[in-house]
Amino acid sequence: MRFLSFCTIICLSLAISCAIASPLDDFAQHRNTLCKPAVKLARETVRTYLTTGKLTPIPQKLPAIFNQKAAVFVTIAKNERRRGCKGAFEPATKCLKDEIIRAAIGAATSDIRYRPIRLNELDKLSFTVSIVGPMKRVKDPQQYPPISYGLLVRGVAGTGVILPGEAKTNSWRVAEARRQARLKSGEPCEMFVFETVALHELKEAPKARRKSP
């Protein structure tokens, strides 16, 4: 009976561990598999759309994890400064690859804070795909470091979003998210923190020129 009780406890512990595992865990474990094809899909989607006005054909050989359902943000930057960003906290399509395509086009063409991306500047831009985890409502995000946690502020007039790593201090993160949400000083709001799996585009080092003989 003792042996059975011990096994039962172990099984229950494993079940609980699985139940509380973050939905991001699977994507984090496959970061290396995801990174290059995800940012390439975002970039080529924008390139094709700006060239033809059409969606890019989805590559047939994407890893199977791209078929999982997930919400994403796509951020486009120039010289490490944001040039466009679009995404959602709940998936609007059936799988990750479709979410990347949707968010990439939005970041390039419909972020009202910036002028639309032009084709002739595309090679000077970098792409980041952020897979978004569940949100947690908080009264004060102070205990959630900005390097690891993003912040969503929701007010009557709108929302403000700061992704993980975009803020260096909590005070700036809160102030900027409130500004984006068009909140007046002292106006109440809802605040949520969240984590992401960020997939950054890695620029290839320029090839060394061969010396003339």
Residues 6+ apart with CB under 8 A from 133: 22, 23, 24, 194, 195, 196, 197
pLDDT single digits (tens) 157-203: 999 999 999 999 999 999 999 999 999 999 999 999 999 999 998 76
pLDDT for residue 100 is more than 70: yes
Q: Is the dihedral of CA 20, 135, 187, 142 positive or negative?
A: positive
Query: Above pLDDT 90, what percent of the chain?
Result: 78
User: What would the DSSP string read from start to end of 116-127?
Assistant: PPPGGGGGG-EE
Where do you find CATH 3.30.1490 in the chain? 135-195
User: What would the DSSP string read from start to end of 11-23?
Assistant: HHHHHHHHHHS-T
pLDDT for residue 9 is more than 70: no
pLDDT for residue 212 is more than 90: no
Where do you find CATH 3.30.700.20 in the chain? 23-133
Q: Averaged over 21-31, what is the pLDDT?
A: 85
CB-based contact 64:131 (threshold 8 Å): no
- Domain 23-133 part of CATH 3.30.700.20: yes
Fold classification of 135-195 (topology level): Dna Ligase; domain 1 (3.30.1490)
CB-based contact 24:196 (threshold 8 Å): yes
Cα–Cα distance between 183 and 31 in angstroms, integer? Answer: 36
Residues 6+ apart with CB under 8 A from 141: 149, 151, 170, 173, 174, 191, 193
pLDDT at residue 59, rounded to an integer: 72
Print the SS3 string covering 99-121: HHHHHHHHHHHCCCCCCCCCHHH
State the average pLDDT for the chain: 86
Cα–Cα distance between 33 and 46 in angstroms, integer? Answer: 21
Radius of gyration of the chain (CA): 21
pLDDT at residue 213, rounded to an integer: 47
Lowest mean pLDDT of 20-24, 26-30, 78-82, 143-147, name the range: 20-24
pLDDT for residue 13 is more than 60: no
Cα-based angle 120, 124, 129 (whole degrees, multiple of 5): 110
